[in-house]
């Protein structure tokens, strides 16, 4: 447990919803599915947001999009929608509201080529009039609070996030989240937390800072540089569903919580594994789980410390577990991997 200063932040409200804390789990396609979001909430995340849901595909009953929008047993159900047509975005928002969503988030930041090629996600940063029409249409379609997630801009030297935030404020949205990179950076380089301040100074809406928060002790610096009212954690939570909650506790207490014991991490992973099998079915569930198992092994090894490992420990267990198609063997392997790690840490 490490001493540090606390950060005094006012309660974060999204519409009429007051969050338990201002630390959010980012929506990540193919990653933050219902089992992951459920686990993050249990360990203290202030809000979790669904994977990106393609608006027209959701309306057509596409099975994958339906699963992405599934409620995770969290106090608040936030559904992120993506698309480039104001009409279909509005219709998808109405559908999500009818299915029990509490918050609608609009994706205007995804950098993936398959998304931007379709003029959605971060591509909307190059078409402010269309972005504005989408914000207006979704806001008018539902009674729920509406938020938007974006990036600094499409490319360096063209910071459009402040203008987008002003459109969001004018449309009546409740919150803006900004990832501190441009679309052209994808996930390279370092997130520019200070550049987010241009957004916080442009609007009176709450702004959430996102990008590269992987150590709880960096959260005060992220908030100070950006001027944001909260933080959102994406890749920093991969393999560590407890991490957003630990950041929230650090901001409140000034102390970094110890990571869960290796036994607790093993049990979390096994519970998540059952969740993926139940959500996706056995064949797809085994495959969906692989990346998470790999991240969990890396997180556990990091917690155990380098003295507990021989070179290649993570790689060896990844190869053994991630190529296995039989759930029982994977379960047994997870237990064996954590037993091995525990033995090494104790030795």
Asked if the model's pLDDT at residue 1 lies above 70, the reply is no
**Helix (H) or strand (E) run with residue 50 in it:** strand 47-54
What is the SS3 assignment for 246-300? HHHHHHHHCECCCCCCHHHHHHHHHHHHHHHHHHHCHHHHHHHHHHHHHHHHHHH
Q: Would you state the pLDDT for residue 71?
A: 86
Residue 97: what pLDDT?
A: 96
d(CA 117, CA 101): 28
pLDDT digits (tens, 9 = 90+) for 145-204: 999 999 999 999 889 999 999 999 999 999 999 999 999 999 999 999 999 999 999 999
Q: What pLDDT, on a 0 to 100 scale, did the predictor assign at position 34?
A: 95
pLDDT band at 69 (very low <50, low <70, confident <90, very high): confident
At 200 the pLDDT is 98
Percent of residues, the chain, with pLDDT higher than 70? 98
Q: What is the mean pLDDT of residues 224-236?
A: 97
At 70-101, the pLDDT tens digits run: 888 889 999 999 999 999 999 999 999 999 99
How far is residue 189's CA from residue 177's CA, in Å, rounded to a whole number? 19
pLDDT for position 5: 62
Q: 228 pLDDT band (50/70/90 cuts)?
A: very high
Query: Vertex 100, ends 97 and 102: CA angle to 5°?
Result: 75
- Reported pTM: 0.95
Provide the pLDDT for residue 4: 53
> In Å, how far are 4, 29, 48, 51, 78 from 72, measured between CA atoms?
33, 15, 9, 11, 10
> Residue 66's pLDDT is what?
87
- Indicate the pLDDT class of residue 133, thresholds 50, 70 and 90: very high
- The Cα 16–Cα 48 span in angstroms is 17
Confidence of residue 2 (pLDDT cuts 50, 70, 90): very low
Residue that wins the pLDDT comparison between 63 and 321: 321
CA–CA separation, 183 and 166 (whole Å) = 19
List the domains of the chain with CATH numbers.
13-253 (3.20.20.70), 262-346 (no CATH)
pLDDT for 157: 86
pLDDT in tens, 280-339: 999 999 999 999 999 999 999 999 887 677 778 999 999 999 999 999 999 999 999 999
216-235: average pLDDT: 97
Residue with tokens 């992987």: 214
Question: Is 207's pLDDT higher than 90?
Answer: yes
Tell me the C-alpha distance between 165 and 53, whole Å: 21
Active site residue 303: no
| DSSP per position, 147-180 | EEEEESBSSTT-B-HHHHHHHHHHHT--EEEEES
**For residue range 244-262, what is the model confidence (pLDDT) as tens digits?**
999 999 999 999 999 999 9
Mean pLDDT over 35-53 rounds to 97
Task: Give CA separation, 90 vs 11, 137, 167, in Å.
Answer: 29, 6, 17
> Looking at the predicted structure, is the pLDDT value of residue 9 above 80?
no
Q: What mean pLDDT is predicted for residues 96-121?
A: 94
Q: What is the mean pLDDT of the chain?
A: 94
CA–centroid distance for 171 within its chain: 24
Q: What distance in Å separates the CA atoms of residue 289 and residue 270, rounded to the nearest whole number?
A: 10
């Amino acid at each position: 447990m490490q001493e540090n200063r606390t950060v005094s932040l006012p309660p974060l409200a999204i519409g009429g919803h007051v969050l338990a804390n201002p630390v959010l789990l980012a929506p990540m396609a193919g990653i933050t599915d219902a089992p992951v979001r459920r686990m993050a909430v249990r360990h203290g995340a202030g809000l979790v947001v669904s994977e990106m849901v393609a608006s027209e595909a959701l309306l057509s009953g596409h099975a994958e999009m339906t699963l992405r929008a599934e409620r995770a047993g969290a106090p608040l159900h936030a559904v992120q929608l993506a698309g480039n047509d104001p009409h279909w975005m509005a219709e998808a928002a109405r559908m999500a509201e009818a299915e029990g969503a509490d918050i609608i988030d609009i994706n205007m930041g995804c950098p993936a080529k398959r998304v931007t090629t379709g003029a959605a996600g971060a591509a909307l940063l190059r078409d402010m009039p269309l972005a504005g029409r989408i914000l207006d249409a979704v806001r008018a379609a539902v009674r729920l609070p509406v938020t938007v997630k974006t990036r600094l801009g499409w490319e360096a030297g063209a910071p459009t996030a402040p203008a987008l935030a002003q459109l969001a404020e004018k449309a009546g949205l409740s919150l803006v989240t900004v990832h501190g990179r441009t679309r052209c950076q994808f996930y390279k380089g370092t997130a520019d937390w200070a550049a987010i301040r241009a957004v916080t100074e442009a609007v009176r809406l709450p702004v959430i800072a996102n990008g590269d928060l992987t150590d709880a002790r960096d959260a005060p610096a992220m908030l100070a540089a950006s001027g944001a009212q909260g933080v959102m954690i994406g890749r920093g939570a991969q393999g560590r569903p407890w991490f957003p909650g630990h950041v929230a506790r650090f901001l409140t207490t000034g102390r970094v919580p110890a990571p869960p014991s290796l036994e607790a991490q093993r049990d979390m992973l096994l519970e998540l594994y059952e969740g993926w099998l139940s959500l996706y079915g056995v064949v797809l569930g085994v495959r969906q789980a692989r990346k998470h198992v790999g991240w969990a092994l890396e997180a556990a090894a990091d917690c155990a410390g380098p003295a507990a490992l021989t070179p290649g420990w993570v790689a060896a267990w990844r190869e053994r577990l991630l190529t296995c198609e039989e759930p029982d063997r994977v379960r047994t392997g997870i237990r064996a991997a954590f037993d091995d790690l525990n033995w090494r840490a104790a030795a």
